[in-house]
Structure 1
Amino acid sequence: MYKFFFLINPISGGGQGKVIYKFLPEIMESMNHADSEWKAEFTDKDRMEEQTREALSNTETLIAVGGDGTVSAVLSTMLLSGYANKVKIGLIPLGTGNDLARVLHLYKPFVDRGLLFLVRRLLLARPRPFDLWQVNGKLAMANYFSGGIDARIAHDFNQDRATGVIASNSVFFNKLHYVRRFFADRSYHLKATKIRYVDETGEAKTVDISGNRTVIIGNIPSYASGSNPFFDSDMADGLLDLVIVPNMFNFLSSIAFGSVPVIGYLFKKFVQKSIKVQSVQIELDPQEFLQLDGEDVSGKLGDQVVIKFASQVQMLSLGA
């Protein structure tokens, strides 16, 4: 049984995972961890589930090195394999958005002091309780689920990357291309969409949101690379934040001002309000654009999406 098992995405962050893999022996030795106490392995997209199951069965702490998509894949396997209450989870952020890393206070040390500093800090970090949700009984949701213009942008971005339109793995150029996709997709609205949810008091409600710009269902107080459209979000309260965005003004304001003290608070309290919910069921056009934890899931979930509480896991965090 290993104390730490590193699953490293070799292409995330322009290949920075390979740098971590190279320096891990030196780091672990400097922290007095014998070779027998840890293991590192590059992920293979065709074997990701198998690799994750093997790692979970052989470690006390699994550290995912990559973007939000890498972590989401690890957490989905964790739920389905029954290890949610047995193995602690850590993250070294190498993606474009890194929303989960931001709320776990991992992103700033990475930006300010570098990857190797973060690795050392993470190995000493304490776990904190963290809600994990399940989408259609098979996919884990740690960050957020959304449909509409933001998901359309994410879909087109991934298409551009897959077809070679985006040739760079640079985080900066990825964000720049996201901006370009926004202007290209700015006229998009939700297709026929109806939401049924159970609010925090247990009351069931139904809302038709067809024609709105987007719907965002969040578990953490970070969305789209650090913005925060959610009011008083808590990652361990057994509730989600449902935000229905009616127009472009609200969409851009949520991104621009959501994390700004005072202005963001007032905007989210009186203008773009969040609804605390226990569960969500969405009926939508099968061709609607959808994203889960920053990953494009358009066309993969059918005409109904059900999001329910799954489990609480222990996440390594550098904050309270």
Structure 2
Amino acid sequence: MFGQAVCDELASSGSGSSGAGSTEDKAFALKPIPGSSVSPLLVFINPKSGGNQGLKLLQKFQWLLNPRQVFDLTQGGPEFGLKLYQKVERLQLLACGGDGTVGWILSTLDQLEFSPQPALAVIPLGTGNDLARALGWGGGYEDEPVSKLLLHVNAGEPVSLDRWCLDVEPNTSPSLPSKLSAESTEGEDVPGEPAPPLKVFNNYFSLGVDAQIALEFHEAREANPEKFSSRLRNKMFYGQVGGKDLLQRKWKNLSDMISVELDGKDMTARLKEIKCHALVFLNISSYAGGTRPWNSASGKQTLDDGYLEVLGLTTYQLPLLQAGGHGTCIAQCKRARIVTHKTIPMQVDGEACRVSPVVITIQRRNQAKLIAKRRSSQEQLYVPSEMIRAKQMKIGVKCLLMQDYELHQLDPDKLRSIGLSTLLSLSEILAVILGTEEHMSQFS
């Protein structure tokens, strides 16, 4: 189960004088309660994700767990919490947010050089939630009891995920076919960024029409955030923009604007042959909100095999993905090199922007440890037997109503005075945490 962290305050041996007005620096060492089954859990929540679902989950986790184990990502990001628990063994993480939230936490773990790296589970609160889908956590949080979510995390299966880096250099001598140079169509020399928005991706990297749709969504949401308050509205916008691009056939000349090498082999001619409007480098099975564009007949796809699946999409294939269709499978590769000759929209794990002519090299960076949800046929929610069987041990507790806690949470003396004192065994405490009606009714 998830051990509650114990916080020991240690006075540091500062060398400054102790005169009037001076303050003594202090540090904190966090240690889990000893025990082979203890796995301290840190919860990172983006309260802005999923409408108001993120805020509700933040409050629920703060009530159920020690508040020092729950972190609001809008208050400085994940770095503070990860640093605080960096030396704690058997640490587990839970990210409540979209794919961007997961990438943020994984990148912070890289920066802090965590060793060993803690495993990360996901509660999907974003729009696409493709990584959560690939790990079995579903496409969105459906108000499942938090206590049950914790048991799913505890029973989850550890998996490894390849992470890929984008090395970007400017293309100082772009060249285009004369027919494109004379045309005033998509890809004209509009201002672009010097590089994609992220340098590392976990899900996929793409360029072309799908990145154009993601970019239009981002720009519309930035202009009118109140219109994008639900997952359904977001998907409706994607469908509207995708339908417009289907009629306009944007980026039909994409294959003339780029050249591609996969594991040292020039695949540019293949791109021109299939006349793709988008080029996708896929690391996981789920794409664009749950579709499966890679055809398994072209090769097995796994999270940790060190290969990217490369496929092309046309504006006709994009809507068919929602009906179970596939893209045009090009190859599986360990390394890729892309040269662009015009400003082209690109997206990295759903984050999109227009990028000026560049040379991009893709290669594997490292692997992350994640927690996949066990399938229902295999699912056995594990509760350590020593907790269930310890009926002879009684612990004094104070029982409070939720409304009393919310009203007086900043006044611990008041909470102690109004709390109902009782003795409970560990199994009874566990039953209360899991929401058993028989025990909860005693304190309502």
Matched, 1:43 2:73: yes
TM-superposition CA deviations, 1:9-49 (whole Å, max 9, x none): 11000021111111114434xxxxxx38x61111138x437
Q: Which has the higher contact order (CA 8 A, sep 6+)?
A: 1
Matched, 1:143 2:203: yes
CA distance in 2, matches of 1:192, 1:84: 42
Matching residue of 1:315: 370
**Relative to 1, partners in 2 of residues 1:114 and 1:58: Cα closer, same or farther, differing over 3 Å?**
same
Q: List structure 1 segments (4+ residues) > 6 angstroms apart after TM superposition.
A: none
Matched, 1:298 2:360: no
CA distance in 1, matches of 2:69, 2:373: 22
Larger radius of gyration: 2
TM-superposition CA deviations, 1:115-144 (whole Å, max 9, x none): 664344224423212212222287321111
User: TM-score, normalised on structure 1?
Assistant: 0.81
TM-superposition CA deviations, 1:61-91 (whole Å, max 9, x none): 2222110111122222323432375221121
Aligned-residue Cα RMSD (Å) equals 2.9
Matched, 1:176 2:241: no
Q: Which runs of 5+ in 1 are unaligned?
A: 29-34, 259-266
CA distance in 2, matches of 1:248, 1:27: 47
TM-superposition CA deviations, 1:221-241 (whole Å, max 9, x none): 100111011133211111110
Matched, 1:250 2:306: no
Matching residue of 1:236: 304
DSSP 3-state at the match of 1:13: coil
CA distance in 2, matches of 1:242, 1:85: 31
Maintained 8 Å contact 1:230/1:274: no
Matching residue of 1:196: 261
CA distance in 1, matches of 2:342, 2:146: 40
CA distance in 1, matches of 2:283, 2:84: 26
Matched, 1:205 2:266: yes
Q: Which runs of 5+ in 2 are unaligned?
A: 1-29, 33-39, 169-197, 376-444
Q: Residue 41 of structure 1 aligns to which amino acid in structure 2? A: F
Maintained 8 Å contact 1:52/1:74: no
**Relative to 1, partners in 2 of residues 1:71 and 1:54: Cα closer, same or farther, differing over 3 Å?**
same
DSSP 3-state at the match of 1:314: strand
Maintained 8 Å contact 1:106/1:118: no
TM-superposition CA deviations, 1:132-161 (whole Å, max 9, x none): 222228732111111111110000001000
1:104 Cα deviation from its structure 2 partner: 0.7
**Relative to 1, partners in 2 of residues 1:250 and 1:114: Cα closer, same or farther, differing over 3 Å?**
farther
**Relative to 1, partners in 2 of residues 1:204 and 1:96: Cα closer, same or farther, differing over 3 Å?**
same
1:53 Cα deviation from its structure 2 partner: 5.4
DSSP 3-state at the match of 2:93: strand
CA distance in 1, matches of 2:145, 2:339: 43
Matched, 1:219 2:249: no
Matching residue of 1:32: none
How many residues matched? 295
Maintained 8 Å contact 1:5/1:55: no
Matching residue of 1:264: none
Matching residue of 1:261: none
CA distance in 2, matches of 1:230, 1:56: 39
TM-superposition CA deviations, 1:285-312 (whole Å, max 9, x none): 462111111122433x861222211112
**Relative to 1, partners in 2 of residues 1:109 and 1:213: Cα closer, same or farther, differing over 3 Å?**
closer
CA distance in 1, matches of 2:87, 2:357: 35
Maintained 8 Å contact 2:162/2:306: yes
**Relative to 1, partners in 2 of residues 1:229 and 1:179: Cα closer, same or farther, differing over 3 Å?**
same
**Relative to 1, partners in 2 of residues 1:159 and 1:109: Cα closer, same or farther, differing over 3 Å?**
closer
**Relative to 1, partners in 2 of residues 1:91 and 1:240: Cα closer, same or farther, differing over 3 Å?**
same
Maintained 8 Å contact 2:157/2:371: yes
CA distance in 2, matches of 1:57, 1:285: 44
Matching residue of 1:280: 336
DSSP 3-state at the match of 2:227: coil
CA distance in 2, matches of 1:110, 1:184: 30
1:166 Cα deviation from its structure 2 partner: 5.4
Equivalent residue in structure 1 for 2:109, among 78, 87, 107: 78
DSSP 3-state at the match of 1:242: strand
Q: Residue 249 of structure 1 aligns to which amino acid in structure 2? A: Y
Matching residue of 2:86: 57
Maintained 8 Å contact 2:125/2:141: no
CA distance in 1, matches of 2:100, 2:140: 21
CA distance in 1, matches of 2:357, 2:78: 22
DSSP 3-state at the match of 1:48: coil
Matching residue of 1:19: 56
CA distance in 2, matches of 1:225, 1:127: 23
Q: Residue 216 of structure 2 aligns to which amino acid in structure 1? A: D
Q: Structure 1 stretch 1-10 or stretch 234-243: which is displaced more?
A: 1-10
Matching residue of 2:422: none
